Amino acid sequence: MNNSFIIAGVMGWPVAHSRSPLIHNHWIRQFNLSGAYGFFPVQPNNLESAIRGLQALGLAGCNITIPHKVNAMAYVDWVHPLAKRIGAINTIVVQPDGALHGFNNDGFGYIQSLLDAQPNWRADAGPIAVIGAGGAARAIVVSLLDAGATEIRVINRTHDKAEEFAREFGSAVFSVKWDAREDALTDAALLVNTTSQGMHGEPALDISLSNLPTSALVSDAVYIPLETPLLKEARLRGNRTVNGLGMLLHQARPAFQAWFGVMPEVGAALYEKVAKTI
Ligand code: NAP
């Protein structure tokens, strides 16, 4: 680690809602580092110049959030193979030679959040039902496959997108029609909602859990509110639940390590600090 002041931040539009500055600045203080993490509000038409400016400004890198995660890939010099498979980046690290490297840590964050809830969790414990086929689903499905999942049922309102998933991600991924979503829960070991349904201001995800074994883990990528209607229903019927905040907190860890040189943990103090803002 050198002694210079290290600066990183999050590029998004809008970006004021992002919890990333709270997370990274917590760790900067915890490790007594010399640095700061800020908000970078970047309109879509300025994305390329903002990314190209990282190196010129001497920044360590940045996170990339909505709506830039897919488009930003075109403006970095190298994309990690995992991020390529996901089709989006959420982190840029400026290399010592100035090259911009793109990563996607969302799937890492998701798997870590499951392990927090259930340290002996295994991806091959049984069929996995994934609701949704958007960006969050791509990160989650790729990381579940890499963790050893043997059967992933992708269920999406627009069935064509679920079929594309099954084609793209290979023989362990199956598409299920929206109307058959409840049948797909029978014998599932893990259910994950990757849609925006259940988010504050959105209706609850339209699904009955009556076919789901109570031994199944139920997780939600949504973290506002922390307990979505899906997670509440799951908890009340006896399923173990995992909210979306763990995914958000854990995805930040590898980026922080790349920029600041220390791999942080997600402790109770950080969890409480961020949860209080939700
Ligand atoms: P996205 O790419 O726009 O995908 C949205 C998905 O939701 C699509 O599959 C869409 O289905 C589905 N959907 C939308 N409205 C629906 C409805 N009324 N009924 C059923 N399905 C519906 O969005 P995303 O980037 O994947 O984000 C999805 C959620 O994940 C957001 O709430 C986001 O905040 C959350 N997220 C959390 C984290 C975290 O760190 N915890 C990280 C990333 C994202 P169609 O294909 O039919 O439109």
The token pair that represents 4 in the structure block: 């210079």
**pLDDT tens digits along 4-33:** 899 999 999 999 999 999 999 999 999 999
| Percentage of residues of the chain with pLDDT beyond 90 | 99
| Domains of the chain in sequence order | 6-104+252-275 (3.40.50.10860), 107-243 (3.40.50.720)
Q: Please, are residues 255 and 61 in contact by the beta-carbon 8 Å criterion? A: yes
Task: Report percent pLDDT > 70 for the chain.
Answer: 99
Ligand 1: which residue has its CA nearest to atom 19?
157
pLDDT range class, residue 3, cuts 50, 70, 90: low
Instruction: Please state the rounded mean pLDDT for residues 106-112.
Output: 98
pLDDT at 2 over 70: no
- pLDDT of 212 > 60? The answer is yes
Nearest ligand 1 atom to the CA of 109 is 40
3-state helix, strand, coil in the chain (%, to 5): 40, 20, 45
What six digits make up the tokens of 21? 């500055």
CB 43 within 8 A of CB 12: no
Residues 61 and 91 sit within 8 Å (Cβ to Cβ): yes
Which among 68, 86, 156, 196 is the best mutation to test ligand 1's pocket, defined by most ligand atoms within 8 Å of the CB? Answer: 196
Q: Which residues are CB-contacts of 219 (< 8 A; sequence separation ≥ 6)?
A: 110, 113, 114, 117, 190, 191, 192, 193, 241, 242, 243, 244
φ/ψ of 100, rounded to 5, equals -105, 120
Tokens 């793109």 -> residue: 102
Going by CA atoms, what residue is nearest to atom 3 of ligand 1? 134
- Which pLDDT value is given to residue 81? 98
Question: From the CA of 14, how far away is ligand 1's center (Å)?
Answer: 17
197-207: b or e for each residue (b if 16 or more CB lie within 10 Å)?
bbbeeeeebeb
**186 CA → ligand 1 middle, Å:** 23
Cα-Cα-Cα-Cα dihedral of 172, 173, 177, 179, to 10°?
Answer: 70
CA of 194 to the centre of ligand 1 (A): 5
Mean pLDDT, residues 76-97: 98
Q: Ligand 1: residues whose CB is within 6 Å? A: 106, 109, 132-137, 156-158, 161, 194-197, 199, 221-223, 244, 247-248, 251
Tell me if residue 69 is catalytic.
yes
Interval 214-241 mean pLDDT: 98
pTM for the model? 0.97
Q: Which of 14, 10, 42, 5 is closest to 23 using CA atoms? A: 10
Cβ distance 1 to 263 under 8 Å?
A: no
- Residue to substitute in 23, 138, 194 for testing ligand 1 pocket (most ligand atoms within 8 angstroms of CB): 194
3-class DSSP state for residue 227?
A: coil
CA of 193 to the centre of ligand 1 (A): 8
Q: H or E stretch including 2?
A: none
Mean pLDDT over 169-191 rounds to 97
The DSSP annotation for 150-204 comes to S-EEEE-SSHHHHHHHHHHH-TTEEEE-GGGTTGGGTT-SEEEE-SSTTSTTSPP
d(CA 10, CA 209) in angstroms, rounded, equals 37
Q: Indicate which residue's Cα is closest to atom 34 of ligand 1.
A: 222
CA distances from 270 to 20, 63, 145 (A): 12, 19, 29
Question: Which pairing describes strands 128-131 and 91-94: parallel, antiparallel, or unpaired?
Answer: unpaired
Tens digits of residue pLDDT in 26-70 = 999 999 999 999 999 999 999 999 999 999 999 999 999 999 999
Contact 78, 103 (CB under 8 A): no
- Ligand 1 center–CA 3 separation, angstroms: 41
Q: What is the mean pLDDT of the chain?
A: 97
119: left (phi over 0), alpha (psi -120 to 50) or beta: alpha
Mean pLDDT on 264-268: 97
Residue 6 CB coordination number (10 Å): 20
Q: What is the pLDDT of residue 1?
A: 46
